Amino acid sequence: MEAELQSQVAFHLTGRRPASGLEAVDILALRPALLARYRDLTALRYDFPLVLVDGGADGDRVQALSGLVDRLLQNIARGDDAERVTRHVLRLERQLRALLAEGVEGSLSTLWDMAAERLGVREDESLRDSLGRARVALKIDGALVDCDAALPARLVAHAWRAVQDAKAARFRATVGRLIQKLSDILRADFNRSDAGRSAESLKASIGDLHADLFDFDAMSRLLTKAAPETMLSESRRTRIRALLTVLESQRFYAGTGGAGGGESAYSFVYQTCAGALAAYRERLAQLTAVARAMAVAELEIAGEFRESRHAAFFETYGADGLDPADQALFPDYLVCVNVQQLDAAETFTLSEILSAGLPMKVLLQTDDILEESPGGGGHFGFGLRSRQLAHTAIGLNDVYVLQSASSNLFQFRGHLRNGFAYRGPALFSVFSGATGTTGDLPPYLCAAAAMDSRAFPAFAYDPSAGTDWASRFDLQANPDIGLDWPVRSFAYEDETHQRVAEDLAFTPVDFVACDSRYARHFARVPRAGWAANMIPAGECLARDGMGSLENVPCLLMVGRDETLQKVIVDEKLMREARRCREMWHSLQELGGIHNSHAQRLLAQERKAHDERAQAATDTRVTGPGGAPAAAAPATAAPATAAPPTAPEPDADKPSEEAYIETPRCTSCNECTGINDKMFAYNENKQAYIADVSAGTYAQLVEAAESCQVSIIHPGKPRDPNEPNLPELMRRAAAFQ
């Protein structure tokens, strides 16, 4: 046994596997224990696949198939056969997932029919009835897409198109109205002119059908005598004609009245930043001319254009860049670029686009975040290039930045919409999960593993959401946001067939363990060699050390045959996991979680509070001037009730007592909504614990989990008989 321990420690320290005792790991045959339950994604109901809905309201343009099916069933599965219909429709939903997993592409309606055929709808009457009813109730259609390498670009382009469609509708309405009104002015002017009142012109305006009924010469003489002279000056007429020419020949949107002038509308979707920037520059003069024409047309139609006042102003209109409101009338450019294509020139152009505030939305797709850092040293990049660009963009202050794994994009669709609605550049950095080195682990799981392990956390930075970080920066999509890593329970049967449940942290070690390129960082320990010195990697990382020279970090993995395996992890990978955690800590601070400035301030406040309390005690004991104080009366009147401040827990130790970091409260009403006797607001409308005995420990924990700034610390339970205490304490641990 001693020799086995030695070889495990040697592997952990050096990453070199000894000739015996430890085995190579076939990464593709094993999965980290917490991922093992997701072997067959087609059997699970989760966010994917998605329906990219054709048409419809902006907010409904992307729908999860499972949600759509649920809504269908609510409508059709009623009465005696509800259970049968539900069962059949859910079978079809699963079949749709299976079709996509096989690589079949198409619209929801096409794949629906294909799936129904596969299920044998022709031969089974009751199945035909169930699916037929669901098919009739299915009112929408659109591409059915899975979480794969193509998803980020498809989804982002679809969301972009929804926003541009709405913009186009508004633009067409506005420009159509302007063209109509300007044309009316010219027509009225012509009708008052000699040419307009000529017999030929009058005849042409009536048409051939009734031409014989009128004496157009007499009518012309009458009108010429009775009608006033034309009121339109030549310069105004010329100006209106010029406005019409500009508006009718604009190419930014198709189908605007007579717009387009025979030429097709511009495309705004690009595969390179350089291409988008060149197009933007080339069209800038035309865009300014259209914006100017729209502004002048409004004045002309209202009869408010004054040559002396406005001509000079409009001469230089947009010379220093258009007003954001004017710019917002026009389509935003969409650039879909893969980080692999970002050479130095393209990276520079992207920075130029973002820093210049150009109206461009850039999807930066990353397929591999475990590439080794170009700087050498064998460090993982953890999406180094996209991370750098996202952080640079945040530093620019007025760029909308979103980072997400593709598995989270459906949940982030609101943020996507906000990014497209934002009047300025936006950068969407997305990890697709399509690494190509994770065997049969689908991109969805790979992407989700990257996000959960903090290797690629999700966040959104919205400059339009407010003026401070608390308003602008959103980290909430990440699981167990207050922890270093999410912790999940894993249950298995041991060799004596007893159920064993363990809480396991899902760390970057788990994520790397899915990638066949890094199998060298792991070594499998045969079951006979399992020993107490093998400590779960998450625990080792939490301890920041092994505790003993003989301890080694290990990972629980599950084989295709569902057997549990233990692999030990080398120190190099553990170091990378710690680096990843430091990066996560920086993000947490930006998100206001465990913020070091706030914690320092809190510690100072506590210290000052302690000193004041001590001084007050000293005064009571010794009396003013050092004289012994008279004993307090046994029945002293209670002090005036004042909202208590947080108790004074040691800054480094979890408090036994529940408390709130009141100065950091954002008054969101979450805790007071759970129990307004236990939680109350002070005079600054910041929450404190008014009466800890007014509720349960479960409510304290629930409030801590609901508090968006993680400032409620539930302490230890007061009632040892409260139900579910072990589970509650496990949840509370994240907030102590």
Q: Is 477 in the site for ligand SF4 (CB under 6 A)?
A: no
Q: Which stretch binds ligand SF4 (CB under 6 A): 82-90, 264-272, 330-338, 663-671?
A: 663-671
Amino acid found at 335: V
Q: Is 668 in the site for ligand SF4 (CB under 6 A)?
A: yes
Q: Is 687 in the site for ligand SF4 (CB under 6 A)?
A: yes
Residue 490 pairs in a beta bridge with 502
Q: Which stretches within 453-570 are classed as H helix? A: 469-472, 508-512, 537-543
Per-residue x/- marks for ligand SF4, 595-614, CB under 6 A?
Answer: --------------------
What is the nearest approach in angstroms of ligand SF4 to the Cβ of residue 702? Answer: 10
Q: Which stretch binds ligand SF4 (CB under 6 A): 27-35, 482-490, 552-560, 660-668?
A: 660-668
Q: Is 711 in the site for ligand SF4 (CB under 6 A)?
A: yes
Residue 174 near residue 293, CB atoms below 8 Å:
no
Task: Report which secondary-structure segment, H or E, holds 559.
Answer: strand 552-559
Residue 147 near residue 435, CB atoms below 8 Å:
no
Give the nearer residue to ligand SF4 in terms of CB position, either 489 or 684.
Answer: 684
What is the nearest approach in angstroms of ligand SF4 to the Cβ of residue 673? Answer: 8
* Residues 315-344 interacting with ligand SF4 (rule: CB under 6 A): none
Give the nearer residue to ligand SF4 in terms of CB position, either 253 or 679.
Answer: 679
Give the nearer residue to ligand SF4 in terms of CB position, either 481 or 534.
Answer: 481
Q: What is the CA radius of gyration of the chain?
A: 35
Give the nearer residue to ligand SF4 in terms of CB position, either 478 or 662.
Answer: 662
Q: Is 666 in the site for ligand SF4 (CB under 6 A)?
A: yes
What is the nearest approach in angstroms of ligand SF4 to the Cβ of residue 599? Answer: 16
What is the nearest approach in angstroms of ligand SF4 to the Cβ of residue 658? Answer: 12
Closest CA to 381 of 393, 368, 391: 368
Give the nearer residue to ligand SF4 in terms of CB position, either 324 or 673.
Answer: 673
Q: Is 438 exposed, middle or buried (0-12, 13-18, 19+ CB in 10 A)?
A: buried
Residue 446 near residue 367, CB atoms below 8 Å:
no
Backbone angles phi, psi at 715, to 5 degrees: 65, -155
> Taking the CA of residue 670 as centre, how many other CA atoms within 13 Å lie in the half-sphere pointing to its CB?
17
What is the nearest approach in angstroms of ligand SF4 to the Cβ of residue 276? Answer: 42
- C-alpha to C-alpha distance for 281 and 337, rounded to whole angstroms: 19
Closest CA to 698 of 672, 668, 677, 729: 729
Q: Is 392 in the site for ligand SF4 (CB under 6 A)?
A: no
What is the nearest approach in angstroms of ligand SF4 to the Cβ of residue 284? Answer: 46
- Across 384-480, where does the E strand assignment appear? 400-405, 426-431, 459-461, 473-474
Q: Is 406 exposed, middle or buried (0-12, 13-18, 19+ CB in 10 A)?
A: buried
User: What HEC string does 236-295 produce?
Assistant: HHHHHHHHHHHHHCCCCCCCCCCCCCCCCCCCCEECCHHHHHHHHHHHHHHHHHHHHHHH
Give the nearer residue to ligand SF4 in terms of CB position, either 349 or 710.
Answer: 710
Give the nearer residue to ligand SF4 in terms of CB position, either 506 or 681.
Answer: 681
Q: Which stretch binds ligand SF4 (CB under 6 A): 288-296, 384-392, 621-629, 666-674?
A: 666-674
Q: Is 573 exposed, middle or buried (0-12, 13-18, 19+ CB in 10 A)?
A: buried
Closest CA to 201 of 192, 209, 226, 184: 192
What is the nearest approach in angstroms of ligand SF4 to the Cβ of residue 144? Answer: 40
Q: Is 364 in the site for ligand SF4 (CB under 6 A)?
A: no
- C-alpha to C-alpha distance for 219 and 227, rounded to whole angstroms: 12
| Coil/strand/helix, residue 720 | coil
Give the nearer residue to ligand SF4 in terms of CB position, either 175 or 712.
Answer: 712
What is the nearest approach in angstroms of ligand SF4 to the Cβ of residue 612? Answer: 24
Q: Which stretch binds ligand SF4 (CB under 6 A): 69-77, 122-130, 498-506, 701-709?
A: 701-709
Per-residue x/- marks for ligand SF4, 623-652, CB under 6 A?
Answer: ------------------------------
- C-alpha to C-alpha distance for 697 and 29, rounded to whole angstroms: 43
Q: Is 131 in the site for ligand SF4 (CB under 6 A)?
A: no
Q: Is 671 in the site for ligand SF4 (CB under 6 A)?
A: yes
Closest CA to 387 of 456, 445, 461, 484: 456
What is the nearest approach in angstroms of ligand SF4 to the Cβ of residue 704? Answer: 8
Q: Which stretches within 123-251 are classed as H helix? A: 125-137, 151-191, 194-197, 199-206, 216-226, 234-248
Q: Is 481 in the site for ligand SF4 (CB under 6 A)?
A: no
Q: Is 690 in the site for ligand SF4 (CB under 6 A)?
A: no
DSSP structural state of residue 208: S
Q: Which residues contact 591 (CB under 8 A, 6 or more apart)?
A: 459, 469, 473, 474, 475, 476, 481
Binding ligand SF4 (rule: CB under 6 A), the pick from 394, 546, 568, 665 is 665
Give the nearer residue to ligand SF4 in terms of CB position, either 220 or 675.
Answer: 675
What is the nearest approach in angstroms of ligand SF4 to the Cβ of residue 661? Answer: 8
Q: Which stretch binds ligand SF4 (CB under 6 A): 142-150, 456-464, 479-487, 702-710?
A: 702-710
Q: Which two tokens stand for residue 549?
A: 């020279």
Q: Which stretch binds ligand SF4 (CB under 6 A): 4-12, 351-359, 411-419, 709-717?
A: 709-717
Binding ligand SF4 (rule: CB under 6 A), the pick from 709, 728, 732, 734 is 709
Give the nearer residue to ligand SF4 in terms of CB position, either 97 or 472.
Answer: 472
Give the nearer residue to ligand SF4 in terms of CB position, either 274 or 707.
Answer: 707
Q: Is 660 in the site for ligand SF4 (CB under 6 A)?
A: yes
Give the nearer residue to ligand SF4 in terms of CB position, either 438 or 710.
Answer: 710
Closest CA to 331 of 267, 271, 286, 281: 267
What is the nearest approach in angstroms of ligand SF4 to the Cβ of residue 589? Answer: 17
Give the nearer residue to ligand SF4 in terms of CB position, either 435 or 710.
Answer: 710
Give the nearer residue to ligand SF4 in terms of CB position, either 198 or 666.
Answer: 666
Amino acid found at 392: T
For the stretch 577-582, contacts whose Cβ atoms lie closer than 8 Å and that sit 24 or more positions apart, written own/partner, are 577/507, 577/508, 577/509, 577/537, 577/541, 578/541, 578/544, 579/379, 579/382, 580/380, 580/382, 580/453, 580/454, 580/455, 580/508, 581/454, 581/484, 581/485, 581/508, 581/541
Q: Which stretch binds ligand SF4 (CB under 6 A): 400-408, 448-456, 628-636, 664-672?
A: 664-672
Binding ligand SF4 (rule: CB under 6 A), the pick from 92, 587, 712, 732 is 712
Q: Which stretch binds ligand SF4 (CB under 6 A): 116-124, 460-468, 602-610, 669-677?
A: 669-677
Give the nearer residue to ligand SF4 in terms of CB position, either 541 or 665.
Answer: 665
Give the nearer residue to ligand SF4 in terms of CB position, either 193 or 686.
Answer: 686
Which residue do the tokens 């914006």 mark? 291
- C-alpha to C-alpha distance for 28 and 370, rounded to whole angstroms: 16
Q: Is 483 in the site for ligand SF4 (CB under 6 A)?
A: no
Give the nearer residue to ligand SF4 in terms of CB position, either 445 or 665.
Answer: 665
Length of the chain: 736
Backbone angles phi, psi at 712, to 5 degrees: -95, 125
What is the nearest approach in angstroms of ligand SF4 to the Cβ of residue 672? Answer: 6
Size of site (CB under 6 A) for ligand SF4: 14
Interface contacts to ligand SF4, rule CB under 6 A: 660, 665-671, 687, 706-707, 709, 711-712
